[in-house]
Amino acid sequence: MRVIAGRLKKKKLAALTGAAIRPTADRVREAIFNICAFRIADAFVLDLFSGTGAFAIESLSRGARAAVLIDSSSRSIAIIKKNIAACRLSDQAVVFQWDILKNLNCLKKFGEGFGLIFMDPPYNKDAIRPTLKNLADSGALKNEALVIIEHSITEPVPENLAEFKLFDQRKYGKTLVSFITCVINK
């Protein structure tokens, strides 16, 4: 696994191993970043179910201002911290070990700041709806924030969430990437 573009281009990242691990393929990550390229410069990025931190690190490499990375696994947190340190991004990244499906109260201190959110929840574990609900409840999203969800083609994105509007989906093998806009009514 490597950083695809930006100031850290070709930087190798430490990866998790094991049968349950499903890292995003470089080609899928590159396609996602080509689609959201106009949103990256100076963005405040949120990387949920971070795994290795590759999405946040790629964003920071391409000019994002700062990133918050969250995962519930202590193994993932250790790899994320290792990758952040190896890329010398400690001054731009905050890492939390947190149960995302329970709530995202850890984000309340950031206010309405996140404009670009990546979600790569475990496949087919019904994690998309509760995560989106917790995101909306956190109060930490900018109006018209872009939420990008990598998920199984067999697990649809809920269509009846008032705060989010699905506007595009791309299929890559057994992976579906959904692009959602956050709509905050004030």
pLDDT tens digits along 35-76: 999 999 999 999 999 999 999 999 999 999 999 999 999 999
- For residue 13, being part of any structural domain is answered with no
Report how far residue 113's alpha carbon sits from residue 93's, in angstroms, rounded to the nearest whole number.
14
- For residue 6, being part of any structural domain is answered with no
- For residue 20, being part of any structural domain is answered with no
Number of domains in the chain: 1
In the block, tokens 């920071």 appear at 60
- For residue 21, being part of any structural domain is answered with no
Give the HSE-up count for residue 163: Cα atoms under 13 Å, Cβ half-sphere: 20
Report how far residue 2's alpha carbon sits from residue 15's, in angstroms, rounded to the nearest whole number.
10
Helices then strands, counting H and E runs in the chain, come out as 4, 7
- For residue 103, being part of any structural domain is answered with yes
Q: Which domain holds residue 30?
A: 26-182
- For residue 7, being part of any structural domain is answered with no
Residues of the chain short of pLDDT 50, as ranges, are: 19
CATH number at residue 81: 3.40.50.150
